[in-house]
Amino acid sequence: MGFFSSSTQTIPDSGEIPNHVAVIMDGNGRWARKRFLPRVAGHKRGVEIVRTLVKTCAKQNVKFLTLFAFSSENWRRPDDEVSFLMGLFMDALKREVAKLHENNIRLILIGDRSRFNVALVEQIEASEKLTASNTGLTLTIAANYGGRWDILQAANKMMLQDSNKKGQFTEEDLMPHLAMHYAPEPDLFIRTGGEKRVSNFLLWQLAYTEFYFTDTLWPDFDDKAFQQAIVSFQQRERRFGRTSEQLVTPA
């Protein structure tokens, strides 16, 4: 149980700091446009914010930080923006992985890697391998990730593994095959950039997550903005289907 159990079944400890924070980093393009800069300048600046947030989360003892970097739908963007984003991802991995390792951070990539070029896949594998046994923050980057893709790939693996169980599969059968099987479900979901949608992020895992939306554009999402999200989270009452009274005196 523990980490692997669904929060819809067991209530996670309501610590001060969320154990798992998942973020849709949105608004890079608009940040750049406001400054009469090309969209890619916003993406570049966005990487700097990732660096600060990772540092803060490690310091505040957040155990899992999951960042949506590129959705399965983002391939629909102009070719030059897509290649810029791939290049930026590659450069950031190369530049930052040693530092992550020094800080005991484990890096994991979730998403369909089959569309990435060989050099990028190799860099991802090397980075994951180097940091695999680190015990501090787990930083998950969702790249070419889609929530529907995740549920479907998990369902396919589950059915292949036990083909006799036709029609009798349970949530527990599916969960180990999901991309984030190593992590508890997110406690706090943050989306910057003003949109109020999930955009095919962690569909299964967000079932009981607390949502926080802010108009702040990702490149402006500094430490102060993150602390506001934490404070908002700390004011929530997480009931997981129960009543307020049951939380005071658990049945």
Taking CB under 6 A as the rule, does residue 115 contact ligand IPE?
no
What is the DSSP code string of 26-94? --HHHHHHHTT--HHHHHHHHHHHHHHHHHHHHHTT-SEEEEEEEETTGGGS-HHHHHHHHHHHHHHHH
Residues carrying an active site annotation: 26, 74
Q: Which of 5, 60, 74, 234 binds ligand IPE (CB under 6 A)?
A: 74
Q: Which does 146 bind (CB under 5 to 8 A by kind): Mg ion, ligand IPE, none?
A: none
Taking CB under 6 A as the rule, does residue 205 contact ligand IPE?
no
Kindly indicate which of the ranges 62-70, 106-114, 126-134, 179-187 contains the residues binding ligand IPE, using the contact rule CB under 6 A.
62-70
What is the distance between the alpha carbons of residues 11 and 224, in angstroms, rounded to a whole number?
29
Taken in order 132, 128, 149, 156, is the CA torsion positive or negative?
A: negative
Rounded to 5°, angle at Cα 187 from 184 and 191 = 120
The contact mask relative to ligand IPE for 222-251 (x = CB under 6 A, - = no) is ------------------------------
Taking CB under 6 A as the rule, does residue 172 contact ligand IPE?
no
What is the distance between the alpha carbons of residues 244 and 241, in angstroms, rounded to a whole number?
10
Binding residues for Mg ion, rule: CB under 5 A, are: 26
Q: Which of 59, 99, 165, 197 binds ligand IPE (CB under 6 A)?
A: 197
Q: Which of 12, 18, 29, 147 binds ligand IPE (CB under 6 A)?
A: 29
Q: At closest approach, how far in Å is the CB of 59 from ligand IPE?
A: 24
What is the distance between the alpha carbons of residues 65 and 24, in angstroms, rounded to a whole number?
11
Taking CB under 6 A as the rule, does residue 219 contact ligand IPE?
no
Taken in order 136, 211, 200, 151, is the CA torsion positive or negative?
A: positive
The number of residues making up the chain comes to 251
Q: Which is nearer to Mg ion, 12 or 193 (CB)?
A: 193
User: By the criterion CB under 6 A, which residues form the site for ligand IPE?
Assistant: 24-30, 68-71, 74, 85, 193, 195, 197, 199
